[in-house]
């Protein structure tokens, strides 16, 4: 039996070049004959030597692909796995299944019936999902494999729309050029969020996808559902046929840039509000517009009073849904966090540290994240 690495081009830069630098042979999972551009998109299969294995095993905090244990020779693996690339949607059409991305496979696997798991792992002994503390190994149950995997309602619930998207890799590459300081995982996360939103809106033009990526990066992943931005996003500037984003999204981009420009001062005030209850109580007693002006400066004039009030109400409701006993000053702090990071920071690929801090420790976790590292101020 041989241990292979299936390396995702959307998450790992130049996997073919990396394999060659280790003296390894690599073969593409997706066919590239006659379509050389696919070489930058397809995952690559290789049988890593010990130094290469150690290098991949060290990437526990970065999604890069999967381990595969199989008796099949390397050259034959792409053909063996060819039917695993696709699945049927509810209408019977074939769509791409990105099962080699752990963010897809982890929620996907538990939703599968035993016969579907056997189909996914047919020809493989087991799959390994890289994780901190060691790989999570998935093994096929001893049942007859299904004939094909159907994207039924159960799996639709387990999977997000980006699983069927085919533009994640090129969007990841564009994001890397636009924001080279982002980590590989952040680029991929932002690309997946962009693809999901573009599909939700029915947008197909690449320039619109790029505009959405900029809006997501500047305003956060929840910008489309943020009551504060509702006056500017209610129609999202869509043309009548909903297939193009009119090129006047500049006001939203300007708001995002204004928030970035005030980031240092906003973060300093945010730290003080977390440190001093009396300061938080002071701002709690003042009009909500005061903190909006702190974050957006002169651009805050774009927000009518009713939008600000609705955004503050939504912020309070979100915190109270998680912590019904949250105090007034903690509600103020949470409101300021949402202004600085965006209302959807809990699901934002570029704001993972404060999101994880809140998920694990609530307001105390957020306070530690803000005070210790200042993370999340974009």
More confident residue, 91 or 181: 181
Number of domains in the chain: 2
Q: How confident is the model at residue 377 (pLDDT cuts 50, 70, 90)?
A: very low
Q: CA-CA distance, 350 to 183, in Å (whole number)?
A: 9
Same domain for 20 and 151? Answer: yes
Q: CA-CA distance, 165 to 179, in Å (whole number)?
A: 22
Q: Where is average pLDDT lowest: 70-84, 135-149, 232-246? A: 232-246
Report if residue 82 sits inside a domain. Answer: yes
Token pair for 262:
């005030």
Radius of gyration of the chain (CA): 23
The mean predicted confidence, pLDDT, of the chain is: 83
Same domain for 18 and 148? Answer: yes
Residue-wise pLDDT tens digits, 227-247: 998 887 776 656 555 555 654
Q: Which one, of 91, 243, 82, lies nearest residue 156 by Cα?
A: 91
Report if residue 319 sits inside a domain. Answer: yes
Q: CA-CA distance, 325 to 67, in Å (whole number)?
A: 45
Q: CA-CA distance, 140 to 52, in Å (whole number)?
A: 27
Same domain for 291 and 157? Answer: no
Q: Which one, of 163, 172, 186, 162, lies nearest residue 10 by Cα?
A: 172
State percent of the chain over pLDDT 90: 29
Tell me what the mean pLDDT of segment 141-146 comes to.
Answer: 84
Report if residue 323 sits inside a domain. Answer: yes
Same domain for 151 and 7? Answer: yes
Report if residue 188 sits inside a domain. Answer: no
At 372 the pLDDT is 73
Token pair for 46:
């290789």
In the chain, which ranges are continuous DSSP H helix?
A: 15-21, 50-57, 77-80, 102-108, 114-120, 153-158, 168-178, 184-201, 206-219, 230-233, 250-261, 263-275, 277-285, 289-296, 305-322, 328-341, 352-372
Q: 102-115 burial string, b = 16+ CB within 10 Å, else e?
A: bbbbeebbeebeeb
| Beta bridge pairs of residue 150 | 88
Instruction: Indicate whether this model's pTM tops 0.75.
Output: no
Tell me what the mean pLDDT of segment 334-363 comes to.
Answer: 88
* 160: Cβ contacts below 8 Å, ≥ 6 apart: 192, 196
At 144 the pLDDT is 85
Same domain for 141 and 21? Answer: yes
* 66: Cβ contacts below 8 Å, ≥ 6 apart: 5, 6, 100, 102, 105, 127, 128, 129, 130
Residue-wise pLDDT tens digits, 265-311: 888 898 999 899 999 999 999 988 999 999 998 888 889 999 999 99
The residue out of 112, 137, 164 marking a domain boundary is 164
Tell me what the mean pLDDT of segment 74-94 comes to.
Answer: 77
Report if residue 128 sits inside a domain. Answer: yes
Report if residue 221 sits inside a domain. Answer: no
φ, ψ for residue 303, nearest 5 deg: -105, 115
Same domain for 160 and 284? Answer: no
Q: CA-CA distance, 344 to 346, in Å (whole number)?
A: 5
Range of the domain at 131: 2-164
Tell me what the mean pLDDT of segment 355-373 comes to.
Answer: 84
Angle between helices 305-322 and 289-296 (to 10 degrees): 100
Same domain for 271 and 155? Answer: no
State percent of the chain over pLDDT 70: 84
The residue out of 164, 186, 209 marking a domain boundary is 164
The residue out of 164, 181, 202 marking a domain boundary is 164
Same domain for 267 and 151? Answer: no
pLDDT surpassing 90 at residue 107: no
Tell me what the mean pLDDT of segment 261-265 comes to.
Answer: 84
Report if residue 362 sits inside a domain. Answer: yes
Report if residue 219 sits inside a domain. Answer: no
pLDDT surpassing 70 at residue 99: yes
Residue-wise pLDDT tens digits, 205-221: 778 888 889 889 988 88
Query: What DSSP string runs through 124-184?
Result: -SEEEE--TTSPEEEE--SSPPPSS-B--HHHHHHS-GGGG-S-HHHHHHHHHHH-TTS-H
Q: CA-CA distance, 371 to 331, in Å (whole number)?
A: 18
At 155 the pLDDT is 60
Q: CA-CA distance, 168 to 171, in Å (whole number)?
A: 5
Residue-wise pLDDT tens digits, 314-325: 999 999 999 999
Token pair for 64:
């890069």
pLDDT surpassing 80 at residue 64: yes
Q: CA-CA distance, 376 to 378, in Å (whole number)?
A: 6
Q: How confident is the model at residue 158 (pLDDT cuts 50, 70, 90)?
A: low
Q: Which one, of 250, 343, 238, 360, lies nearest residue 295 by Cα?
A: 343
Residue-wise pLDDT tens digits, 159-201: 544 444 456 778 888 999 999 998 888 888 898 888 878 877 7
């Amino acid at each position: 039996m041989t241990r292979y690495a299936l390396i995702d081009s959307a998450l790992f830069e130049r996997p073919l070049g990396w394999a060659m630098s280790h003296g390894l042979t690599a073969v593409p999972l997706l066919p590239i004959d006659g379509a050389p551009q696919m070489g930058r998109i397809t995952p690559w299969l290789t049988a890593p030597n010990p130094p290469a294995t150690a290098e991949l095993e060290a990437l526990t905090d970065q999604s890069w692909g999967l381990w595969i244990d199989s008796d099949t020779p390397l050259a034959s693996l792409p053909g063996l796995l060819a039917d695993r690339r696709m699945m049927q949607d509810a209408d019977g059409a074939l769509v791409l299944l990105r099962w080699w991305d752990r963010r897809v496979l982890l929620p996907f696997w538990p939703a599968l019936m035993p016969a579907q798991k056997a189909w996914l792992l047919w020809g493989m002994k087991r799959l390994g999902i890289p994780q901190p503390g060691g790989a999570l190994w998935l093994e096929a149950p001893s049942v007859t494999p299904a004939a094909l995997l159907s994207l039924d309602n159960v799996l639709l619930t387990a999977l997000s729309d980006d699983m069927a998207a085919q533009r994640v890799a090129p969007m990841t590459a564009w994001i890397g050029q636009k924001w080279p300081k982002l980590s590989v995982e952040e680029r991929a996360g932002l690309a997946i969020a962009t693809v999901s939103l573009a599909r939700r809106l029915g947008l197909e033009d690449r320039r619109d996808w790029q505009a959405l990526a900029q809006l997501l990066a500047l305003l956060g992943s929840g910008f489309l559902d943020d009551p504060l931005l509702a006056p500017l996003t209610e129609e999202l500037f869509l043309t009548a046929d909903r297939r193009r984003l009119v090129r006047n999204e500049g006001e939203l981009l300007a708001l995002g840039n204004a928030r970035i420009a005030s980031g240092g001062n906003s973060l300093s005030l945010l730290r003080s509000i977390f440190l001093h209850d009396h300061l938080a109580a002071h701002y709690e007693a003042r009009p909500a517009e005061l903190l909006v002006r702190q974050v957006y400066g002169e651009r805050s004039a774009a927000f009518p009073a009713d939008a600000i009030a609705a955004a503050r109400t939504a912020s309070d409701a979100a915190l109270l849904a998680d912590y019904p006993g949250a105090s007034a000053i903690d509600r103020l702090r949470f409101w300021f966090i949402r202004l600085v990071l965006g209302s959807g920071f809990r699901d934002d690929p570029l704001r993972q540290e404060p999101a994880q801090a809140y998920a694990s420790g609530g307001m105390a976790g957020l306070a530690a994240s803000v005070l210790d590292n200042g993370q999340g101020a974009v």
